[in-house]
Structure formats: C-alpha cells, structure tokens
Structure 1
C-alpha cells in the first residue's frame, strides 16, 4: 500500500510540471504519437476495408495479414526499424511501427462493419436503382460505422500502450519515467508512470465508447430501446 501512496505522491509533486520530462509535455508526446499513428493507419486501412466488405474479395488476404501483424512483437519491430532507418530517424521508425500495429484492428472493423449488414438491406438499395457507389456511401458506410469505430477504439488502446516502448529509443512520452525508474530502483516512479498510462488508456476508451454509441444510427437506437421494453424481452417483461 505504501508504494501506491508513494506513486501518487510522485505524480502530484510540483516538480512533475517542470524538468526534462514534464507531465503535460509527456502526455502531449504520448497522444501525438498515438493519434498520428491511428490517423495514418485509418487513411490506409479504412478504404481497403470498405472495398473488401463491399466486394467480398480479398478477405482471406486481409485476415492473414492482420493475424501476422498482431503476432509481431512491438518492441522488436521498433528496434528493427530503428536499425534499418538509422538512429537519426528514430521518430519515423517508431511511428511506422505504431502504424503497422494499428492497421489490423482498423481494417477488421472497416470490413466487418460492411459484412455485418443484412444483405436484404443492400439488395433493397439495388432494387431501387442505387449504384454501387451509392450503396456503399448511403447504406454500408453509415450502418457499418459502429464496428469501424470499435476497430479504431481497439487500435487506439493498442497503440497508446505500445507508445510507452518509444522511451526505449529516447523518444519520451509517459514511458520515459518507467524506463528511467527501473535501473534507478525508483519504484514509485515506475508505478506512477504505469498508472498514468493506464488512466490515459481508460480515458481514451471511455471517449471512444461514447463515440461508438453515437455512431449507431438514431432509428436503430430507438429500435433497440423498443426491443428492450417489449413484453417477453428484457427486464421490463
């Protein structure tokens, strides 16, 4: 219990706002790497996922690539890219590693959202004379948005945890205090840094949970509420 009190004491100390790695700056660096990586991954993976979900082609390749990318150790990937690109390009190497880790969940969310749509809805759009482009943008993208946001949510959580490793190659962020505290045996600093990363992840998870809920079309949210209070269904029965 003492180590937790020491960790919170370290977190709340006035000197955490100054020094070589002030808390606001560390959080800013951590978020910058996280959102930059997820944004780049989304720009590449979302169009590909929509195309796979709409056409039904390439799903096996996407699943295989996603599985392979998930199996790659993040720390090893960062070090490998640093060695390949050179120590003068460590930020670019780390960002590439984070992007590669973010692509699989975003890609899966994009094509799963389209694939999960009832085919009768898509067929009804075609029967009304919609073009394939109109079906994608007016039916598949809006209805598949909740699963896409879920994929983005998963990517953000994975990357925000992995960015902690960027401190190993001298890029700062919230992982700096953890890496620095281990050899110095300053366990309150190590635990304090870990608590900060966990709190940041929880805050981002909560924000994306709300965004995912908001992404559900209004008429479907209303249908879910009516179903919950229908006689014989849910607690209201």
Structure 2
C-alpha cells in the first residue's frame, strides 16, 4: 500500500508514509491491534532510510494511532473506550459500546478497613471489608486496574461471578441498587505493578477515578479507586450553563 510514494516531489517522504499508513488504519485495511514490521524492515522494503520511517511512526504515535509496546513493538491502537460520567460500571460501558470485556481477578479477600476505607464506607476503622482487585480488558487488551471495597455483608460474592459479570450487575442481582455516587477523576504516574498490568512504560501516566457509591437508603455500598491506560480510555461529560 506504500508503492506510490513520490520520491522527487516537494512533500517529505516521512509525511507521505505517515499519511498512507493513517489512511489504511482509519479505513480498517490495517486492523486495530495489528503489529507493524520493525523500522528497519519497513525502511528496507521501501528503499527509504530508517530515520524517515522512524519519523513517520512517531507522527502516528503522536496522533494516538500507533503505540510502542515493550516486547511487542509498534502496534495499531485499539479503539479507545470513551466513557460517560454516569452511574454505570466499566463492564457495562464496554458491553454497551460493542467491546468484549474481560476480567482477571487479582485479589479477592476480606481485610481490615484502613482510615480512608472506613471513612468512605462509614464504618469503624479496623472493621472487616470485602477487598477486590481486578484487571479489566477490552477485546483482549488491558485497559484498567480496578480496586474496590465493599461492606462485609457482600462477602459471599464469588470470584467466578466477578470473572463473568460486572460488579454493579452482581450488586443489582442481590437487590443493591446504586442511586448516587461521589466521584473524583484525576491523573498520576503508575506505581507498583500497574505498569505491568496495563502494559505501559514503567511509571507512565494513568487516568484515575475514585468513587463512593450509595444505595437508595443512603448507605455507602462501594468504595473504588481505579486507574486506566490513557491511550485506551477517556471520560466524557456534558456541561450545561446555569
């Protein structure tokens, strides 16, 4: 698809390569998630210099169309997940936007609540709570690390349920209906094993969301703090002037 390069005209070769690759990605001729050859192989195949190909690739990385991944190389970015700031779970949002959600349960146990968890769930510090930590993927690509704390009366939720369904769907099945939530969105650097779980550079940036959700009676039933791959995920909201 890169055989019609104008090697004598005024348009830089790197720009022509980037333009043709972008057109192929946006049209679907190069599928989301596809891996590209390395720069040396592409340069040799086209009879161009490696710096020319590198600059073309960097142009598409800057546009968010390509991503360089450790141990994999240069890959076409999967379609980004755009999430409305609403009372829904990530699992539900992925399904409603025709993505295939996947869940890997990293930790699932009962542990004492520290100060921040106790305050969020309106319980005594040191009281037992249900602790969940999951890796969420979309179409086979990791997009988020989800950490949640639940009241102890929800301790009978199983790991198998968490692997197969979204947390809010599980809660609704138990008669727990979330009516309101306080939520904070931010950003920070990845820490701990987050870089590995999200397949990003060590200490790279992540989007964050912290939420305390309440049921119809006003009882806090979930405290979550999550982090997301910024090249795969964005929040969207509508603002109205008063």
Could you say which TM-score interval applies, normalised by the shorter chain? under 0.3
Q: TM-score, normalised by structure 1?
A: 0.24
Q: TM-score, normalised by structure 2?
A: 0.24
Higher strand share: 2
Higher helix share: 1
